[in-house]
Structure 1
Amino acid sequence: MQFLIERARKGLQSNEILNVDRSKHIATIIIENTPIDVDFTKTASENASRYYNQAKKLSLKINRGKEMLKTLESKLSVMKGEVEVLQISRRPKIRRKRKWFERFRWFFSTEGFLVIGGKDRATNKELVRRYMEMDDLFFHIEQPGGAVVLVKTRGRVVGNETLTQAADYAASFSRAWREGLSYADVYYVRGEQVLSHPPPGMYIPKGSFYIKGKRTYLKGRLELAIGLWELDGELRITSCPVEASNRMKVKVRVVPGDMEKLGTAKMIKEILENELKKVTNMSLYLDLDEILKALPPGRFRIMRR
Structure 2
Amino acid sequence: MDQKRELSSIDLAALVTELNRYEGAKVDKAYLYDDDLLRLKLRDFDRGRVELMIEVGDIKRAHVADPENVADAPGRPPNFAKMLRNRMSGADFAGVEQYEFDRILTFEFEREDENTTLVAELFGQGNVAALDETGEVVGSLQTVRLKSRTVAPGAQYEYPASRLNPLDVSLGGFKRHMRESDSDVVRTLATQLNLGGLYAEEVCTRAGVEKETPIDDVTDDQLRALHEALERIGERLRSGDVDPRVYEEELSDDEAEDRDPRVVDVTPFPLSEHEGLPSVGFDSFNAAVDEYFYRLDRDGSEEGEAPADASPSRPDFEEEIGKQERIVEQQQGAIEGFEEQAEAERERAELLYAEYDLVDEVLSTVQEAREAEVPWDEIAETLDAGAEQGIPAAETVVDVDGGEGTVTVELRGGDGEDDDGETTRIELDASAGVEVNADRLYQEAKRIEGKKEGAMEAIKSTRAELEAVKERKAEWEAKEAAADETAGDGADDGEEEEDGEEYQTDWLSRSSIPIRSPDDWYDRFRWFYTSTGYLVIGGRNADQNEELVKKYMGKHDRFFHTQAHGGPVTLLKAAGPSESADPVDFSEETLREVAQFAVSYSSDWKDGRGAGDAYMVEPDQVSKTPESGEYIEKGSFVIRGDRTYFEDVPCRIAVGVQCEPVTQAIGGPPSAIVDRVATSVTLEPGMYAQNDAAMMVYRELKGRFADQSFVRKVASADQLQEFIPAGGSDIVD
Q: Distance in 2 between matches of 1:124 and 1:22?
A: 47
Please say if residues 185 and 218 of structure 1, whose CA atoms lie closer than 8 Å, have aligned partners that are also in contact: yes
5+ residue gaps, structure 2, are 1-32, 38-54, 76-304, 311-509, 576-582
**Normalized per residue, which structure has more strand?**
1
Q: Deviations over 1:138-187 (max 9, x none)?
A: 11101320111110013322111110000000000001111111111100
Pairs within 5 Å for 1:62-73: none
**What residue is the counterpart of 2:687 in the other structure?**
258
Separation of aligned partners in 2, 1:224 and 1:26: 42
The answer to whether 1:116 aligns with 2:545 is no
1:178 aligns with 2:606: yes
**Matching of residues 84-95 of structure 1 within 5 Å:** 90-93=512-515, 95=517
2:595 equivalent among 167, 172, 184: 167
CA distance in 2 between counterparts of 1:204 and 1:263 reads 35
Q: Secondary structure at the match of 1:268?
A: helix
Query: Residue 26 of structure 1 corresponds to which residue in structure 2?
Result: 69
What is the alpha-carbon root mean square deviation over aligned residues? Answer: 3.2
Query: Against the structure 1 CA distance between its residues 229 and 7, is the aligned structure 2 distance closer, same or farther, given a 3 Å change threshold?
Result: closer
Aligned CA distance change for structure 1 residues 260 and 211 (closer, same or farther; 3 Å) = same
| CA-CA distance at 1:282 after TM superposition | 7.1
CA pair 269-213 structure 1, distance change in 2 beyond 3 A? same
Match of 2:72 among 39, 60, 74: 39
2:725 is the counterpart of 1:296: yes
Residue 212 of structure 1 corresponds to: 640
3-state SS, counterpart of residue 107 of structure 1: strand
Q: Report Cα offsets for 1:94-118 as digits up to 9, x if no partner.
A: 62x4200111111111111111111
1:74-99 superposed Cα distances (whole Å, 9 cap, x missing partner) = xxxxxxx989669x95335262x420
Distance 1:130 1:176 in 2: 27
Tell me if structure 1 keeps the 8 A contact 2:546–2:634: no
CA separation of 1:159/1:40 partners in 2, compared to 1, >3 Å: closer, same or farther? Answer: same
Task: State the distance in 2 between where 1:189 and 1:128 align.
Answer: 13
Q: Supply the distance in 1 between the matched residues of 2:631 and 2:642 (Cα, whole angstroms).
A: 19
- 1:251-301 CA distance string (max 9 Å, x none): 111000112222211111101111233xx7874313221122211110011
Q: Given the superposition, is the C-alpha separation of residues 189 and 118 from structure 1 closer, same or farther in structure 2, using an over 3 Å criterion? A: same
Structure with the greater alpha carbon radius of gyration: 2
1:234 and 2:662 correspond: yes
Residues of 2 paired with 1:8 and 1:281: CA distance?
14
Question: Do the aligned partners of 1:25 and 1:41 also contact (CA within 8 Å) in 2?
Answer: no
Whole-angstrom distance in 1 between the partners of 2:615 and 2:670: 20
State the Cα deviation string for residues 45-79 of structure 1 (Å, max 9, x = none): xxxxxxxxxxxxxxxxxxxxxxxxxxxxxxxxxxx
For residues 551 and 603 of structure 2, the distance between their equivalents in structure 1, rounded to whole angstroms, comes to: 25
Residues 1:82 and 1:128: Cα distance change in structure 2 (over 3 Å) = farther
In 2 relative to 1, CA 7–248 (structure 1 residues): closer, same or farther, beyond 3 Å? Answer: closer
Higher relative contact order (CA 8 A, sep 6+): 1
| Partner deviation per Cα, 1:238-258 (whole Å, 9 max, x = no partner) | 211011111022111100011
Percent identity between the two aligned chains: 30
Cα distance change on mapping 1:176 and 1:129 into 2, 3 Å: same
Write the distance in 2 (CA, Å) between the matches of 1:8 and 1:142.
42
Aligned length: 242
Q: Is residue 91–residue 234 contact of structure 1 (8 Å, CA) maintained in 2?
A: no
Contact 1:105 1:238 in 2 (8 A): no
Is structure 2 residue 317 aligned with structure 1 residue 284?
no
Change (3 A) 1:84 1:223: same
Aligned residue identity for 1:39: D
How far the C-alpha of 1:229 sits from its partner, in A, is 3.1
Partner of 1:141: 562
Query: Which SS does the other structure have where 1:243 is aligned?
Result: helix
CA contact 2:513–2:710 (8 Å) conserved in 1: no
Q: TM-score, normalised by structure 1?
A: 0.70
What SS does the aligned partner of 1:273 have? Answer: helix
Equivalent-residue separation in structure 2 for 1:7 and 1:229 (angstroms): 21
Q: Distance in 2 between matches of 1:120 and 1:301?
A: 24
Mapped partners of 1:206, 1:40: distance in 2: 40
* Counterpart residue type for residue 91 of structure 1: I
CA distance in structure 2 between the aligned counterparts of 1:295 and 1:7, rounded to whole angstroms: 18
- Hey, what's the Cα distance between the residues in 2 that align with 1:179 and 1:207? 21
SS at match of 1:244: helix
Matching residue of 1:98: 519
Q: Distance in 2 between matches of 1:143 and 1:170?
A: 10
Question: Aligned partners of 2:35 and 2:567: how far apart in 1?
Answer: 42
Task: Return the match for 2:701 from 260, 272, 275.
Answer: 272
1:140–1:148 Cα contact (<8 Å) kept: yes
AA at the equivalent of 2:611 = Y
Structure 2 residue identity aligned to 1:169: F
CA contact 2:537–2:570 (8 Å) conserved in 1: yes
AA matched with 1:259: Y
**What letter corresponds to residue 515 of structure 2 in structure 1?**
K
User: How far apart in 1 are the matches of 2:607 and 2:719?
Assistant: 24
Measure the CA separation in 2 of the matches of 1:244 and 1:190.
23
Paired residues for 1:194-205 under 5 Å:
194-205=622-633
Matches within 5 A, 1:54-69: none
Hey, what's the Cα distance between the residues in 2 that align with 1:166 and 1:180? 20
Q: Is the 8 A contact 1:92 1:234 kept in 2?
A: no
Native 8 Å contact 1:249 1:276 kept in 2: no
Q: How does 1:74-89 map to 2 (within 5 A)?
A: none
Opposite residue 683 of structure 2, the aligned amino acid is: V
Look up the match of 2:375. none
CA contact (8 A) 1:105 1:294 kept: yes
The DSSP-based 3-state class of the residue aligned with 1:100 is coil
Structure 1, unpaired ranges of 5+: 14-19, 28-37, 43-80
